[in-house]
Chain A
Amino acid sequence: QVQVVESGPGLVKASETLSLTCTVSGAQLNRQYWTWIRQTAGKGLEWIGRIFSTGTAEHNPSLRSRVTMSVDISENQFSLQLSSISAADTGVYFCGRESRESNSFFSGVALWGAGTTVSVSS
């Protein structure tokens, strides 16, 4: 059974960089798209970005300048870094696997992690 589990610090100081890791079990990272989504305080779901197993990444334009994503094939993990954190970034961060069809169309998040809560302190 394929599972993804998020990990990272529950508390980050404002202006610092948030680093989260998603560990994949039951499947290899190779040839798959892996995604980060968040739900900030009082708001809905927001797509942060995705990364392919080769390291090619795409980010939400509204966050692009602050987002860095990476993969570690040997550890079967992928990671998210979000810089210049502020209170607006407080929320729950989910990692997951995003499906892509043979016609190259994406078809959503097929596998979700349970999420990890991030709070920002001043």
Chain B
Amino acid sequence: NLVLTQPRSVSGSPGKTVTISCVGSGGNIVTKFVQWYQHRPGSAPTTIIYKDSERPAGVPDRFSASIDSSSNSASLSISGLVTDDEADYYCQSYDLDNQGVFGGGTKLTVL
């Protein structure tokens, strides 16, 4: 079964760029769409990327994502960091049976 592995935490300074990886194992990450969600404690998660690299309306283009088939991984980049970006970020995809799978989540700290 597909397992998605993310770093537990990343950090960056205001104005800089951070990248969060999501490595797939037990399955091919390019087979299904990958999504990214931002989750602040106490609030509902919000979708920031869907269908691998699409941004919903209202999500700034500081957020971008891509898939690397060679490493079976997805990545989320956030440029021009602001303190409001501090949150937990989750990648999500599906296994071959279309069961949803989440990565373990990455805590972003903006120093």
Contact of B50 among A39, A107, A112 (CB under 8 A): A107
Which chain B positions have C-beta within 8 A of A50?
100
How far apart are A46's CB and chain B's nearest CB, in angstroms?
Answer: 6
In the complex, identify which listed stretch (A11-19, A72-80, A81-89, A98-106) lies at the interface while the others stay far away.
A98-106
Contact residues on A (Cβ < 8 Å of other chain), bracket: 20 to 34
**A120 within 8 Å of B (CB atoms):** no
Q: A58-B99, A94-B44, A106-B94 are known contacts. Are A101 and B51 too (CB-CB below 8 A)?
A: yes
**B105 within 8 Å of A (CB atoms):** yes
Alpha-carbon distance between A39 and B92 when the two chains are bound, in angstroms: 14
**B63 within 8 Å of A (CB atoms):** no
**B73 within 8 Å of A (CB atoms):** no
- Whether A105 lies near B45 (C-beta < 8 A) is no
Which chain A positions have C-beta within 8 A of B94?
106
